[in-house]
Structure 1
Amino acid sequence: MQDALVERLSSPVPRYTSYPTAPHFSESVGAEAYAQWLGLLGRENRLSLYAHIPYCDRLCWFCACHTKQTLRYEPVEAYLKGLHAEISAVGKRVSRDVPVTALHFGGGSPTLLRPDDMIALKKGLDRSFTFAPDAEISVEMDPNDLDEARHDALAAIGMTRASLGIQDFDPAVQNAINRIQTFEQTRGVVEAARARGVRSVNCDILYGLPHQTMETLAQTVRAVISLNPDRIALFGYAHVPWMKKHQTMIDEAALPGVVARFAQMRMAAEMLVAAGYEAIGIDHFALPSDRLAAAARGGTLRRNFQGYTDDQADALVGLGASAIGQLPQGYFQNMPATGEYLRRVEEGGLAVVRGYALTAEDRARAWVIERIMCDFGFSFADLAARHPAFAATIRAEACGFAASDRDDLCRIEGERFLLTAAGSPFARTVAAVFDAHLSSGRGRHSMAV
């Protein structure tokens, strides 16, 4: 019975790091609208920045990020010149009264930057934006890139959170995904970051990888726990070879089926909870002392393009090729192709090529979907207070779904729509019930668990 339910409810749906999701962005929102939206930010807003480095010195076959492999540093140098130009152009359009409360360097591999380039990039951001004294600065790290000079540079830019992609420590799995990374390397990076004052470490684990078994995954989970990271993300491998051609290097016959994936996920989650981590949303775990756990307990957990976060900023500016962001008026995305991105920033400083202007109904549904993804439910009273024009319609949808639910996924409890323990792993599937755009979408998505 459980296996049949998993098979049926694992159909592909969006990850809901935004609503509407990226396939609904269009060229009707471009650089001109983006410039206007930036100019409307004021001291009442809080700004989060994301800087994208779309290069790696090796290409991991499991990766679904916008990145490319380079064995030469010259393309990275050319890209950084363009990124500095965009930072300056965007900064000129944002009031210095707007505080930056968070900065995230992602990729690709930000840690492949030379130490002086890393420091220069942060100085460029400092010149263009006003950082709050307690701003969080997080960096995605590849242990294979790091040396003492890069660790020192990360300390110099004020990194407060280190995010390490681990995926799996099993050699057979690592060979199958072209991600060779030893436990000793990883432990050394964690120790070096903490020795330099980093107060938060995040580790990513993947399940559903080729040749991965319950036993090998359990070994990886135990090894990660021994590092005592503050946060752990437990992601399901998203096999999307139609979108990321390098994933064709992965033998599909070696991938676990959906039932096996689900079993891997449940086992790893149970191990993490048994080790003292609190479950956060559908795929994150945090020590009780971590800010993410506090946000989940306090009902202030958020979800954006970077996944679950305690960041309360109401504006997220993405910088770099393919970077996505959100302003109060809607979403935007930069040109993904690095060559065309560089041409656009050299000509005008802004590289936005598509986006989406939010409607009042979009805002209501976005709030509902975010609460389902973060809290596994929502309050009808809160919905009515925030979005009165659409409260009755969405309430009727929620009650109708609960009444027709034969799988014990949800229930109506007083003035709340709540997912059950059985329904929580399928939060993406339940959230899709409230997605008014899904049926008209052109995008293809990864499986729900």
Structure 2
Amino acid sequence: MRLDLVNKYDLRLPRYTSYPTAPHFSAAVDGGVYGQWLGGLDTATPLSLYVHIAYCDEMCWFCGCHTKISKRYEPIADYLAVLEKEIDLVASRLPGRMGAKHIHFGGGSPTILSADDFSRLIARLKDRFGVLDGAEIAVELDPRTADEAYVRAMAAAGVNRASVGVQDFNPVVQKAINRIQPYEQVAEVIGWLRTHGISEVNMDLIYGLPYQTTDSVLATIDQTLTLSPRRISLFGYAHVPWMRKHQTLIPESALPGPEERWRQYEAAQERLQAHGYVSVGLDHFAAPDDELALALAEKRMHRNFQGYTTDDAPVLIGMGASGIGSLPQGYVANEGELHAWKRMVEAGELPTKRGIAISDEDRLRREVIERLMCDLEVDVAAIARQHGRSDDHFAAEVDSLSDLEADGVVVRDGFRLTITDDGRALVRAVAARFDQYLKVGERRHSQAV
């Protein structure tokens, strides 16, 4: 890998899990607008549901999620009661009972719920929305709080995929990010999952953490491989202390620089591919027979707020404090402050704080960006035609890629763009050329590598 590309293109860029991206949402879209959007859906439309559990029992200092720490269960039980009311509110705004083909529990930490409360929550969702045949039900799992009773409850509820948060197995790194979880603890939890029939196991890793080296990242990769996950995510740590104050507890002097981050990413990618994993997009890896790898080969992979996915539901409903969703009309984001979210729900209001209505031009650019992020190639003229535009609609954007082409990041063949192997880590820099909202250099986003 040419390290000269690191300093030139390591810009602060969106991860493009949506377009337009979340910093451009505004208060113009509130609960009233969201309710109208929900009411305008076709009842035959399949849904994807995201349920945010906004609590953890300990703060991980690297975390960029919306979460609150609680050592007592009473606030969590209270949160769950309000969440059930929000589920009822959303369901009541729909034109009829609609079915879900994908349900994802994220956080925070869904495993902070008791097994009984998790069972009650998923029963509420199934009652209000219904679950379509073949639906994927996934839970983000913290090995430090999950026990076998919780895993049994997951299996009984029909959960068929679990994402296990690991980040790094090195004790020095774990101490520096305040997340202590030995390999043996993770292995035990994954053993429970498989014993109870949940065989689709993902593992989440992070590079660019304090005190990590290329060798230590590879050691974590090797330990991860002994557990044979079906999918592995390999995210670059997003150090944004101006947005997440607890990240100031991480010593910046211990963070690897851009060149070392690049080496960590590249070495990990090579190790995973050497063991047969398929590289998916920017930061995911899948077993060759996993549905994500098959979707990649067939160019039917998608990208949403949970990252790379096979979920093609046209409506994503996010529930819980800071829950975020996507509808044909636009994007919506819930109030993230817990007390404000609770007040709105208990007043019978959809707790939407902000969002954005999308235009036909947004939809066009979103498709170009998604195909770049997913397939690492795109025919922008063909997509423009599908949206009723001329072949040269993106002529200026394609012309603007001359520097990235000269540096071997992208190849231009007329209006067909292909990301090179060297350019994979910089796909966000290519996608950004099609982003009409982005102001390069704004400190709203994480590093591109």
> What is the alpha-carbon distance in structure 2 between the residues aligned to residue 381 and residue 190 of structure 1?
46
Q: Which residue of 1 aligns with 2:20?
A: 20
Q: Which residue of 2 aligns with 1:379?
A: 379
Q: How does 1:7-46 map to 2 (within 5 A)?
A: 7-46=7-46
- Quickly say closer, same or farther: Cα 1:265–1:93, change in 2 above 3 A: same
Please give the secondary structure, in 2, of the residue aligned with 1:388.
coil
Identical counterparts, % of pairs: 48
Asked whether the equivalents of residues 300 and 310 of structure 1 are also in contact (C-alpha less than 8 Å), the reply is yes
Q: Which residue of 1 aligns with 2:229?
A: 229
Asked whether the equivalents of residues 23 and 441 of structure 1 are also in contact (C-alpha less than 8 Å), the reply is no
- Quickly say closer, same or farther: Cα 1:158–1:265, change in 2 above 3 A: same
> What is the alpha-carbon distance in structure 1 between the residues aligned to residue 408 and residue 3 of structure 2?
15
The C-alpha deviation readout for 1:326-385, integer Å capped at 9, x for no partner, is 000000000000111000000014100110000111111111111111111211353133
- Quickly say closer, same or farther: Cα 1:430–1:261, change in 2 above 3 A: same
- Quickly say closer, same or farther: Cα 1:11–1:323, change in 2 above 3 A: same
**Alignment gaps of 5+ in structure 1:** none
Please give the secondary structure, in 1, of the residue aligned with 2:3.
helix
Amino acid at match of 2:294: A
> What is the alpha-carbon distance in structure 1 between the residues aligned to residue 23 and residue 64 of structure 2?
15
Q: Which residue of 2 aligns with 1:397?
A: 397
Please give the secondary structure, in 1, of the residue aligned with 2:339.
helix
Q: Which residue of 2 aligns with 1:435?
A: 435
Please give the secondary structure, in 1, of the residue aligned with 2:35.
helix
Shift, 1:99, TM fit: 2.2
Amino acid at match of 1:186: V
Q: Tell me which moved more, 411-420 or 206-215.
A: 411-420
Asked whether the equivalents of residues 361 and 390 of structure 1 are also in contact (C-alpha less than 8 Å), the reply is no
Q: Which residue of 1 aligns with 2:51?
A: 51
Asked whether the equivalents of residues 376 and 418 of structure 1 are also in contact (C-alpha less than 8 Å), the reply is yes
Shift, 1:100, TM fit: 0.6
Q: Tell me which moved more, 318-327 or 122-131.
A: 122-131
Amino acid at match of 1:356: I
> What is the alpha-carbon distance in structure 1 between the residues aligned to residue 35 and residue 218 of structure 2?
49
Shift, 1:126, TM fit: 1.2
Shift, 1:392, TM fit: 2.4
Amino acid at match of 1:133: D
The C-alpha deviation readout for 1:102-147, integer Å capped at 9, x for no partner, is 0000000000101111011011111210210211000000111122
**Alignment gaps of 5+ in structure 2:** none
Amino acid at match of 2:31: A
Q: Tell me which moved more, 148-157 or 262-271.
A: 148-157
Q: Which residue of 2 aligns with 1:106?
A: 106
Shift, 1:404, TM fit: 7.2
Q: Which residue of 2 aligns with 1:85?
A: 85
Please give the secondary structure, in 2, of the residue aligned with 1:189.
helix
- Quickly say closer, same or farther: Cα 1:316–1:299, change in 2 above 3 A: same
> What is the alpha-carbon distance in structure 2 between the residues aligned to residue 402 and residue 377 of structure 1?
16
Amino acid at match of 2:197: G
Q: Which residue of 1 aligns with 2:296?
A: 296
Structure 1 runs (4+) deviating above 4 angstroms are 440-443
Q: How does 1:180-195 map to 2 (within 5 A)?
A: 180-195=180-195
The C-alpha deviation readout for 1:423-445, integer Å capped at 9, x for no partner, is 22100111101100002997611
Q: Which residue of 1 aligns with 2:178?
A: 178
> What is the alpha-carbon distance in structure 1 between the residues aligned to residue 21 and residue 101 of structure 2?
25
> What is the alpha-carbon distance in structure 1 between the residues aligned to residue 360 and residue 252 of structure 2?
42
Shift, 1:43, TM fit: 3.8
> What is the alpha-carbon distance in structure 2 between the residues aligned to residue 274 and residue 62 of structure 1?
29
Asked whether the equivalents of residues 399 and 412 of structure 1 are also in contact (C-alpha less than 8 Å), the reply is no
Q: How does 1:45-444 map to 2 (within 5 A)?
A: 45-96=45-96, 98-389=98-389, 391-402=391-402, 405-413=405-413, 416-439=416-439, 444=444
The two structures have a TM-score, normalised by structure 1, of 0.97
Amino acid at match of 1:428: R
Shift, 1:286, TM fit: 0.1
Q: Tell me which moved more, 432-441 or 276-285.
A: 432-441
> What is the alpha-carbon distance in structure 1 between the residues aligned to residue 37 and residue 442 of structure 2?
27
Asked whether the equivalents of residues 111 and 142 of structure 1 are also in contact (C-alpha less than 8 Å), the reply is yes
Please give the secondary structure, in 1, of the residue aligned with 2:433.
helix
Shift, 1:3, TM fit: 2.3
* CA RMSD after TM alignment: 1.6
> What is the alpha-carbon distance in structure 2 between the residues aligned to residue 240 and residue 404 of structure 1?
26
Q: Tell me which moved more, 172-181 or 36-45.
A: 36-45
Asked whether the equivalents of residues 91 and 97 of structure 2 are also in contact (C-alpha less than 8 Å), the reply is no
- Quickly say closer, same or farther: Cα 1:391–1:37, change in 2 above 3 A: farther
The C-alpha deviation readout for 1:279-337, integer Å capped at 9, x for no partner, is 00000000011111011000011000110000110110000000110000000000000
The two structures have a TM-score, normalised by structure 2, of 0.97
> What is the alpha-carbon distance in structure 2 between the residues aligned to residue 391 and residue 68 of structure 1?
49
> What is the alpha-carbon distance in structure 1 between the residues aligned to residue 391 and residue 99 of structure 2?
33
Shift, 1:402, TM fit: 3.7
Asked whether the equivalents of residues 148 and 189 of structure 2 are also in contact (C-alpha less than 8 Å), the reply is no
> What is the alpha-carbon distance in structure 1 between the residues aligned to residue 34 and residue 441 of structure 2?
23
> What is the alpha-carbon distance in structure 2 between the residues aligned to residue 430 and residue 400 of structure 1?
10
Asked whether the equivalents of residues 24 and 441 of structure 1 are also in contact (C-alpha less than 8 Å), the reply is no
Shift, 1:393, TM fit: 2.2
